[in-house]
A = this chain, B = another copy of it.
Amino acid sequence: MDQPVRELSYAEAIREAMAIALERDERVVVMGEDIGVYGGAFQVTGDLIERFGPDRIIDTPISELGGAGIAVGAAVTGLRPIFEFQFSDFATLAMEQIVNQAAKMRFMLGGSVSVPVVMRFPAGSGTGAAAQHSQSLEAWFGHVPGLKVVQPTTPEDAKGLLLAALEDPDPVMIFEHKLLYKTRGPVPEGAYTTPIGKAEIRRKGRDVTVVATGVMVSRALEAANELAAEGIEVEVIDLRTVRPIDTPAIVESVIRTHRLCIVHEAVKTLGIGAEISARIAESEAFDYLDAPIVRLGGAETPIPYNPDLEKAAVPQVPGIVAALRDLATGRR
């Protein structure tokens, strides 16, 4: 990329993407609860209201189903709405509009419309907000044809994937992990896009492949660092897109490393790890596997409030290290 690069936080990078889009495209509006003067529950929209005014940075009442539906209707009729859910858990109120309408409208109408709506979902645990404010539900969306689903993990990708989503004619769901909002990283200035549907190798390694999503990417990288000291070289793939899954990228890596571990925060059963495991087992990488595929995911429980339980409910670095060590050294 040619643009100069600065350090921004993940939240700032998202805001910058929205500002670029608002600036260059009159059709872009941002909608959601308390995204105006409050700046959003996680301060992602921040000062956009001051720069673009209340006609484009639209505070909605607390009406997730109606709000999402309005965004869908606006998308079909010429706007490019970005709809922010205050917490991804509240998507449970809007699945009708997302799944029955946005995802299917083009198909049901035989191709006569597109639905270029972007929805943003602050997701995940780790903030002590308990079971109704900590869910990771991206697998539900990944199960729905007609949707695209991304999970950026770096500030650079958060910006690039949002700009890509805005250029995409179809509904794109963006899962943002709350713990990432304050993390910082290099972000190119100006407009660029990060391709939807492409995974990214964050660290090269020869001994074992880890596919991780969301906040688990940085935990996997930490684990990889620890293991490097033991001489185990872990390849870390940031999945980035949950639908469509970049199966070729994973296959290619597994063919080199012969071992695969998938780490995500969502509940393990029927999480994205299940799909990846099944796909790799069906792929040409299968014959290269020297050990069964390992999945690490959230415990089979709602997220608890108590901080120790909360941590125990999702993969943490020591558990990832142990699992990878076992996998790489043939103990599993």
**Across the interface, which residues of B come within 8 angstroms of A267, CB to CB?**
143-145
The residue that A100 contacts in the complex, of B92, B103, B140, B146, with Cβ under 8 A, is B92
- Mask, A235-276, CB within 8 Å of B = 1, is 000000001010000000000000000000011011111110
Q: Is the CB of B302 within 8 A of A104?
A: yes
A44-65, CB < 8 A from B: 65
- Mask, A124-152, CB within 8 Å of B = 1, is 00000011100001011011111000000
Q: Is the CB of B143 within 8 A of A266?
A: yes
- Whether a CB of chain B sits under 8 angstroms from the CB of A19 is no
| One of A27-35, A194-202, A293-301 contacting the partner | A293-301
Q: Is the CB of A270 within 8 A of B274?
A: yes
CB distance from A112 to the nearest CB of B (A): 14
If A89-B100, A282-B295 touch, does A302 touch B132 (CB 8 Å cutoff)? Answer: no
- Whether a CB of chain B sits under 8 angstroms from the CB of A93 is yes
- Whether a CB of chain B sits under 8 angstroms from the CB of A317 is no
Q: How many copies does the complex hold?
A: 2
CB distance from A185 to the nearest CB of B (A): 29
The residue that A275 contacts in the complex, of B90, B140, B269, with Cβ under 8 A, is B269
The residue that A245 contacts in the complex, of B95, B269, B294, with Cβ under 8 A, is B269
A275-300, CB < 8 A from B: 275, 277-278, 281-282, 286, 292-295, 299-300
Q: Is the CB of A143 within 8 A of B140?
A: yes
A151-203, CB < 8 A from B: none
- Whether a CB of chain B sits under 8 angstroms from the CB of A108 is yes
**Across the interface, which residues of B come within 8 angstroms of A95, CB to CB?**
92-93, 95
The residue that A108 contacts in the complex, of B99, B132, B273, with Cβ under 8 A, is B132
Q: Is the CB of A143 within 8 A of B132?
A: no
CB distance from A244 to the nearest CB of B (A): 8
Bound-state CA distance A92–B96 (Å) is 5
Q: Is the CB of A132 within 8 A of B104?
A: yes
Q: Is the CB of A300 within 8 A of B145?
A: yes
Bound-state CA distance A92–B278 (Å) is 27
Q: Is the CB of B108 within 8 A of A93?
A: no
CB-CB nearest in chain B for A96: B92
- Whether a CB of chain B sits under 8 angstroms from the CB of A38 is no
Bound-state CA distance A281–B278 (Å) is 8
Which of A272, A282, A302 is most buried by chain B, counting CB atoms within 10 A of its CB?
Answer: A302
Bound-state CA distance A267–B145 (Å) is 8
Subset of 12 A-B contacts with CB under 8 Å: A92-B96, A93-B96, A95-B95, A103-B302, A107-B131, A108-B130, A143-B269, A143-B270, A145-B299, A278-B278, A282-B292, A282-B295
